[in-house]
Structures are given as C-alpha cells and as structure tokens.
Amino acid sequence: MRHIEIQGLEKSYGDVPVLEGLSLEVDQGELLAVLGPSGCGKSTLLRCLAGLEAPSGGRIFMGGRDVTHLPPGDRNVGMVFQSYALFPNLDVLGNVTFGLRARGIGATEARRMGIQVLDMVELKGLEGRMIWEISGGQRQRVALARALAIRPQVLLLDEPLSALDAKVRERLREHIRGIQRELSVTTILVTHDQEEAMEMADRIGIMNRGRMLQVGTPEEVFMNPADRFVATFMGRANLIPAELAGRVWNLDGQSDWMIRPHLVDICSPHDPGAITGTVEDVVLSGGTVRVKVRIYQGLVVSSEAPYRPGGLPHRGQPVGIRASMEHLVRLTGPVSA
C-alpha cells in the first residue's frame, strides 16, 4: 500500500534548481534509501518532506493526504539529522521527550513513553546523563529515540551515521533496520554510502543533479543499472564501449555495456573461449583480490574474487578472462570515453 507519493517536486534557491520534477512512491512500512553524490538534492528532498523547506512546485502526499504546504508539526514526521540536533542543556530523557511535551503530553506519560523508546534503542539507564557525557553512537541513538517517541507515520533519516566510525556505523545499521522492521514505520534514508543503502534498504532510489534516475531493489540497481552513472555510482563496473555482434566486439561502437568485476573470472590464456590479455595490476584488499587485465585495443577489464592462498597473478603475466554473456548489461546515456 502506497504511503508517500511525490509528484513532480521542484525546488530552486534563486535561479539555481536543486530538485527538478522529481517523482517517487514509497510503500507503507518500506525503508527506501535515497542515494547520490553530495549536492544532488537528497537532503533538500528530505527537508521538503519534513516541511522544513517549501517546494517551488509539485505535490507531496502522505497517507493519501496532501501535505505539500502543511507545517512540520502537522505532518507526524520524525526526523534524524546528521548533526544529531540535540539540546546540550537537557539530559537524555529531556531530549527524547521534548517532542512529546511540545505536543501537550503530560510529564508522567511523556516520561513513560520516553523510557520505553530508550529501552528500544538500548539506552535504558542513561536517561539522566547529559548529552556531553555520552558517545557519538549513543547520541545518534538518542536522536533516533526522540524521532520515534512521537510515534511518527514517517521516519526521515538524513545521513544519520556518516559522522561515526566504521564499527559503530555497522552496528547501528543493523540496530536501526531491526527497529524499523519491528515498528513497520515508513522510512526514507538519505545517504551517499552505497554499502549502507545496500544493507539497509528494501529499495534504493539513485539521485543525481536533482533528478531520480532509477528506483529498484538493491539487486536491481546493482545488477541492472539504468545508465552509466548508476552503474558506476553503485560500485566498481567494467564499461565496454562497443557494439556486440554475436560474440564479436567492435570497440568502435556507440553503446556502453557493463559487467561487474566479480562476474569476470581469471583463467589460463589457453582455456577454450577465453579472451587473452596481460595483467596490468593486482591489488589485495582484505579478503578480495582485484586484477586488472589489458586485452585487445587497449581495453582494461577488472576481475574480483575472494583471496585464496596459493599464488597471485603478477604484473605482465599472460592470462585469460571469461564471463557469461548473460551478465552483460546494455546501458543508456553517453558512451564512456
């Protein structure tokens, strides 16, 4: 069931367009990640949804109600900011119950609700601590608890984990996703981190220059990108500027084909059907080996595979590469140079 519907949303600052005719639908209980580079309009989209920015055009519906011009307090939206936006003069419980008290809920009931949600984010027992006495990860959970305390219909997360270290980010990804599923609250997560979007989202929307380029499941946007930008933004990609006739490549072609490096295998140059080439570079990163192979007409193709002891290829070594034709994806948009 559709919960959020955005129709032709536009936003400009002076003569500078930030959102250009953006349309999007989000289902009830879904976690949708909006992914894109810095400055593409992600945070502006979220601020328009929250009512913190007035759109220049278009409409926003939540639960079938037109909220385009409603103030933030009338939208029943909870928002978590990258900067936490916590009150340093209030303790943890005071921050969590701030929105409840602002809505006229009595002190006793607000305290009960606040402690309940602090338990949900695993901060029970810290309600009397001041904000400066707790860690960055705990502050982010306080911000999440404050957003959840008002029991929002929609939860908006604006780069909530970007200021945290890698281990804390990984732990909080799982925690936030678990809470979101438990409450079944419709959630939009804005991030520039592909891994974060892939791990947390039911669907991902890819933005660039104020436009939504593609919306799909993590697998769809990774394996079947709509264009070259989506292909490269979602991860490492081999782009092949060629026309394909049967199994013969014409590298002077006017189309881009894409295949992910993990679907390219290194083999013996003597294997039947192998494309021969020369190893140009080998990188061992954690448990992954990345090999770049220069094949005909100067084209370089990358392969990725789990590292196994027993001999890495070396620069200058003749090798073969193999890939299934069914894993090739034809892209739209400008041909790679």
What are the pLDDT digits (tens) for 289-318?
999 999 877 889 999 999 888 778 999 999
Average pLDDT in the 162-188 region? 87
> For residue 161, what pLDDT band results from cuts at 50, 70 and 90?
confident
Asked if residue 2 has pLDDT above 70, the reply is yes
- Name the DSSP letter for residue 335: P
| Ranges of CATH 3.40.50.300 domains, the chain | 2-233
Asked if residue 335 has pLDDT above 60, the reply is no
Asked if residue 102 has pLDDT above 60, the reply is yes
What distances in angstroms separate CA 101 from CA 81, 109, 126, 158, one per listed residue? 20, 9, 20, 24
Average pLDDT in the 43-67 region? 96
| Ranges of CATH 2.40.50.140 domains, the chain | 239-331
DSSP for 81-101, written as a single string: -TT----TTSBHHHHHTHHHH
Q: Which residues have a Cβ under 8 Å from the Cβ of 129 and sit 6 or more positions away?
A: 91, 92
pLDDT in tens, 311-327: 789 999 999 999 988 89
The CATH code that applies to domain 239-331 is: 2.40.50.140
3-state helix, strand, coil in the chain (%, to 5): 30, 35, 35
Region of 193 (left: φ > 0; alpha: ψ -120 to 50; beta: rest) is: beta
Q: Which residues have a Cβ under 8 Å from the Cβ of 208 and sit 6 or more positions away?
A: 36, 37, 40, 229, 233
> For residue 243, what pLDDT band results from cuts at 50, 70 and 90?
confident
Average pLDDT in the 66-91 region? 91
Q: Are 100 and 110 in contact (CB under 8 A)?
A: yes
As given in the structure block, the two tokens for residue 232 are 């490269």
Least confident of 29-33, 98-102, 300-304: 98-102
State the residue for tokens 């997560």.
Answer: 189
> For residue 251, what pLDDT band results from cuts at 50, 70 and 90?
low
In the prediction, which pLDDT does 337 show?
A: 44
223: exposed, middle or buried (C-beta count within 10 Å: 0-12, 13-18, 19+)?
middle
Better-scored residue on pLDDT, 216 or 333? 216
Asked if residue 231 has pLDDT above 50, the reply is yes
Where are the strands (E) in the chain, listed by range?
Answer: 2-13, 16-27, 31-35, 57-62, 65-66, 77-80, 154-158, 186-191, 203-208, 211-216, 238-241, 243-245, 248-250, 256-259, 265-267, 275-285, 288-294, 300-306, 318-322, 329-331
Region of 306 (left: φ > 0; alpha: ψ -120 to 50; beta: rest) is: beta
Average pLDDT, the chain: 90
Looking at CATH, the fold of the domain delimited by 2-233 is given as: Rossmann fold (3.40.50)
Asked if residue 72 has pLDDT above 60, the reply is yes
> For residue 256, what pLDDT band results from cuts at 50, 70 and 90?
confident
